[in-house]
């Protein structure tokens, strides 16, 4: 059946995508929409349909699409050159800004993606500890590397600490090098870390796992036990870095890791990410400091790209302005409160979960505390609601509302109206 909201041009592009792209998409969002442009807190598809944008490019566009300060910085650098492979001024200044802002950051090494940053962070702690095993938390997402795709989304979770691969093509040997702990279960996590202290190279975690906030004391317990055992703790802040606070989730929650990874916001919408951390650990990137045996080479054609670094610096300059985070949090709180009221009034089995800059609706009778609890949610109801929201001019990912500085009162009003209509439609269909 032909979608009346799609133009002939967009339908032709979708058909072309199905022919030349596996699954008809880039592997991210479903290929049933083709975005043409974005301005502020909104995007338009090729058919001209307008949407309040809570996808935000999966999070990078925290200050909105096409911010004039970012456009000016990028335009200035593009006129001077696109990339050099050598050091450039913007990249150096961005690294200095990250060191100033992020509590754990003493040095920085750039990559082009969060996947790369997380993979290098894992290799870094293995080099530092001279051990191989990594402990991660079930449901935690750390990119697309072999190590990361262990128990991110297991269909049939096994017994802890057994890991299970989430992708074809991962060597069986990797499974033996990754241990899995439950998020928000400090007792189990600490017991596993202590029991395997002599095998572990490091522990990696999202301090805010997808949209599940840490329960009080959980992050500090993991921090304390890793420090006690001399095991580096990695915070994956690709999503939360500069989103929850100027210093990221580690500032927001008051728990400081040894290493953290950053991405999304720090590139201002361009491909850029980073590994940051304690200087003695980061020294493994420097042959002069650790010698041939301890040296960890890291080469990337576009690492620290000057256009991306210029965009990142301009983005961070906006975030440094007074009132920025207060505004984002106020927008998020208004949306969360409005959706919560609609859920209560409609009787839907759902809960709003997360933090004001990043939240979602869990379609379950109680708020999930870990990955296994999310498996009990009503995935069909979530899909239907998301599709109805899109029909109401609201675009979001499968499981997140990303809130931006650019979202305004009109965006909030439209979103709440669309959610109310979606809830009413669901109630009628029940």
Same domain, 245 and 117: yes
Strand partners, 51: 43
Q: Which domain holds residue 284?
A: 68-319
Same domain, 334 and 202: no
Helix 306-319 to helix 89-101 angle (10° resolution) is: 40
pTM equals: 0.96
Same domain, 176 and 277: yes
Quote the CA–CA distance of 116 and 286 in Å, as a whole number: 18
Q: What is the pLDDT of residue 307?
A: 98
The count of structural domains within the chain is 2
Same domain, 154 and 82: yes
> Chain centroid to CA 405: how far?
17
Same domain, 58 and 86: no
Same domain, 401 and 368: yes
Quote the CA–CA distance of 239 and 402 in Å, as a whole number: 10
Domain final residue pick, 319, 337, 356:
319
Domain final residue pick, 296, 319, 342:
319
Same domain, 83 and 214: yes
Whether residue 139 lies inside any domain: the answer is yes
Same domain, 37 and 126: no
Domain final residue pick, 319, 342, 374:
319
Q: What is the pLDDT of residue 155?
A: 87
Same domain, 134 and 213: yes
Q: Dihedral sign for Cα 164, 261, 324, 306, please.
A: negative
pLDDT per position in the chain (430 positions), as tens? 567 789 999 999 999 999 999 999 999 999 999 999 999 999 999 999 999 999 999 999 999 999 999 999 999 999 999 999 999 999 999 999 999 999 999 999 999 999 999 999 999 999 999 999 999 999 999 999 999 999 999 988 889 999 999 999 999 999 999 999 999 999 999 999 999 999 999 999 999 999 999 999 999 999 999 999 999 999 999 999 999 999 999 999 999 999 999 999 999 999 999 999 999 999 999 999 999 999 999 999 999 999 999 999 999 999 999 999 999 999 999 999 999 999 999 999 999 999 999 999 999 989 999 999 999 999 999 999 999 999 999 999 999 999 999 999 999 999 999 999 999 999 887 6
Same domain, 287 and 328: no
Within 10 angstroms of residue 366's Cβ, the number of other Cβ atoms is 12
Which residues have C-beta within 8 Å of that of residue 299, sequence separation ≥ 6? none
Q: What CATH number does the domain containing 216 carry? A: 3.40.640.10
Quote the CA–CA distance of 158 and 189 in Å, as a whole number: 16
Q: What single string gives the DSSP state of each residue in 273-316?
A: EEEEE-HHHHGGG-HHHHHHHH------TTTT-HHHHHHHHHHH
């Amino acid at each position: 059946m032909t979608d009346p909201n799609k133009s002939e041009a967009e339908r032709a592009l979708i058909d072309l995508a199905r022919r030349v792209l596996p699954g008809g998409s880039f592997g991210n969002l479903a290929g049933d929409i083709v975005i043409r442009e974005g301005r502020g807190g909104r995007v338009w598809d090729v058919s001209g349909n307008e949407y309040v944008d809570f996808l935000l490019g999966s999070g990078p566009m925290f200050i909105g699409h096409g911010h004039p300060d970012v456009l000016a910085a990028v335009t200035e650098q593009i006129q001077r050159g696109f990339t050099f492979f050598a050091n450039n001024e913007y990249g150096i200044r961005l690294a200095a800004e990250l060191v100033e802002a992020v509590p754990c950051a003493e040095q920085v090494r750039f990559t082009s993606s969060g996947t790369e940053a997380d993979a290098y962070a894992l290799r870094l702690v293995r080099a530092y500890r001279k051990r191989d095993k990594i402990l991660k938390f079930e449901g935690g997402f750390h990119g697309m590397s072999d190590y990361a795709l262990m128990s991110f989304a297991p269909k049939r979770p096994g017994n802890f600490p057994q890991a299970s691969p989430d992708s074809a093509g991962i060597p069986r040997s990797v499974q033996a090098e990754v241990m899995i702990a439950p998020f928000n279960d400090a007792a189990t996590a600490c017991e596993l870390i202590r029991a395997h202290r002599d095998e572990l190279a490091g522990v990696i975690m999202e301090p805010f796992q997808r949209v599940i906030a840490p329960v009080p004391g959980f992050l500090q317990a993991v921090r304390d036990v890793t420090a006690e055992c001399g095991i580096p703790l990695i915070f994956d802040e690709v999503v939360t870095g500069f989103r929850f606070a100027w210093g990221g989730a580690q500032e927001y929650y008051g728990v400081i890791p040894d290493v953290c990874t950053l991405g999304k916001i720090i590139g201002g919408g361009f491909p850029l990410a980073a590994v940051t951390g304690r200087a003695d650990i980061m020294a493994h990137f420097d042959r002069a400091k650790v010698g041939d045996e301890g040296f960890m080479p890291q080469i990337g054609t576009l690492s620290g790209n000057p256009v991306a670094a210029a965009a990142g610096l301009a983005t961070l300059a906006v975030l440094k302005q007074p009132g920025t985070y207060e505004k984002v949090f106020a927008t998020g709180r208004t949306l969360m409160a409005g959706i919560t009221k609609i859920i209560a009034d409609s009787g839907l089995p759902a809960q709003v979960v997360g933090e004001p800059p990043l939240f979602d609706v869990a379609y379950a009778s109680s708020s999930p505390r870990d990955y296994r609890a999310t498996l009990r949610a009503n995935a069909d109801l979530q899909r239907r609601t998301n599709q109805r929201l899109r029909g109401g001019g609201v675009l979001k990912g499968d499981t997140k509302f990303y809130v931006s500085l650019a979202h305004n009162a009109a965006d909030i009003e439209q979103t709440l109206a669309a959610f109310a209509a979606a809830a009413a439609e669901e109630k009628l269909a029940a």
